[in-house]
Amino acid sequence: MNIETKFFRFFNNFFYKTNSKFLVFQNNFGITIFFLFIGFLSGNLFGTILNGIRYYMSWDGYIGLILLFFIESINFIFYHNKNRKFFFFFRFSVKISKNNLLRSLNFFKIGFMFGLFIDAFKVGS
């Protein structure tokens, strides 16, 4: 009897992929949690010192635009597909490798946005 059945190969393949993803998670867990917490702290501090920033910028829309530009720039760099057409006319390609610094910046951004989200609940209550 042959034990190399389709189910057995599927189970081995699933186990191998799960194990490799777990090893990547295990190697990067500490730095990811660190940047999530630093981003969360920065988001809460940004909501706290927002009144102080208003003395230097006359309109709150500028603060929102700068924040939106920061978040969307990181999203573009991290999630950009190089084969996608830009404005339906030409291809726009940026070659950036997704190294650990970029992943850490993305986790900082996620923590920052979560901190702003929690700060909005604090203001609303």
Q: Is 109 within the bounds of a domain?
A: yes
Residue 73, pLDDT score: 86
Written as tens digits, the pLDDT of the chain (125 aa) is 567 788 888 888 888 888 887 776 777 788 889 999 999 999 999 888 887 777 777 777 788 888 889 888 888 877 776 666 555 555 555 555 567 788 888 899 999 999 989 988 887 76
Q: Is 1 within the bounds of a domain?
A: no
Q: Which domain covers residue 119, as residue numbers?
A: 7-124
Q: What is the dihedral of CA 69, 73, 74, 75, to 10 degrees?
A: 100
- The β-bridge partners of 86 are 90
Q: Is 45 within the bounds of a domain?
A: yes
Compute how many other C-beta atoms are within 10 angstroms of the C-beta atom of residue 16.
10
Q: Is 60 within the bounds of a domain?
A: yes
Q: Is 116 within the bounds of a domain?
A: yes
Q: Give the helix ranges, DSSP H, for the chain.
A: 6-48, 50-53, 60-79, 100-124
Q: Which amino acid is at 122?
A: K
pTM for the full model?
A: 0.66
Element holding 85 (H helix, E strand): strand 85-86
Q: Is 81 within the bounds of a domain?
A: yes
Counted domains in the chain = 1
